[in-house]
Amino acid sequence: ILFAQLCSYNLVGTYSVVQRGSMVNLCIFRTDNGRGWGVKTKKLIKKGTFITAYVGEVITNEEAEKRGKEYDAAGRTYLFDLDFNEVEEQCPYTVDAALYGNISHFINHSCEPNAAVYGVWIDCLDPNLPKLALFATKDIHKDEEITFDYMCQTSKSFEKKKMTTMVELNASNEARLAGDKEDGIVQIPDNKTKCKCGAKTCRQYLF
């Protein structure tokens, strides 16, 4: 079994747990801050534990571009690029969990997540088709919401641009927000989706 991850994190333990399936007790709940549905755990999840697979319809990159425009207009995103193959310059496939998926469909974004997604190759001959596996990056306590950073699914072809944006947003967050505020309200660009994660280091908007 081989694995790779788009966001840096040293996973502890064996990756064969993905083959056995999820062993954690999850439940869907309604958030109280306008983020719709979310997923939380009913028992303690230790750091490094496999939580669930991120599944959906596998589509081509071209189809993902078309659907992405529709999802952006609706202010939602369920597309996850399978860009874990470092040999390929461009990701040929994307997972769309909008209509087909599992409980991972309801996992929300956070700028301070407690989980991360890995590409895992299990009995797979195509390096462009890994399974997507969500692992805990820290201990997640009972009734705590499970989240991951949607920014980490940005295609590697845009990695440099993404990292530059991340530095700009995080290095001078207070100054940036002060400049974007009008009458005490943070102004979100028209082409951005407002982030509602509520984290102290929130980037204020997605994508």
The response to whether 196 counts as a known ligand-binding position is yes
Of the candidates 78, 100, 150, 205, the residue annotated as catalytic is 150
- Please pick, among 9, 15, 54, 100, the residue that the annotation labels catalytic: 54
Structure tokens at 101: 């998926």
Q: Please report which residue ranges of the chain form alpha helices under DSSP H.
A: 17-20, 61-74, 159-171, 173-180
Q: How many CB atoms sit inside 10 A of residue 48's CB?
A: 17
> Tokens representing 199?
């984290």
Classify residue 184 as left (phi > 0), alpha (psi -120 to 50) or beta.
left
111 appears as a binding residue in the annotation: yes
Q: 105: annotated binding-site residue? A: no
Q: Is 15 annotated as a binding residue?
A: no
For β-strands 37-41 and 115-121, DSSP reports them as: unpaired
93 is catalytic: no
54 flagged as catalytic: yes
Nearest Cα to Cα of residue 18 among 105, 128, 135? 135
Binding residues: 7, 35-37, 108-109, 111, 150, 195-197, 202
Binding residues for Zn(2+): 7, 111, 195, 197, 202
Known catalytic residues? 54, 150
Binding residues for S-adenosyl-L-methionine: 35-37, 108-109, 150, 196
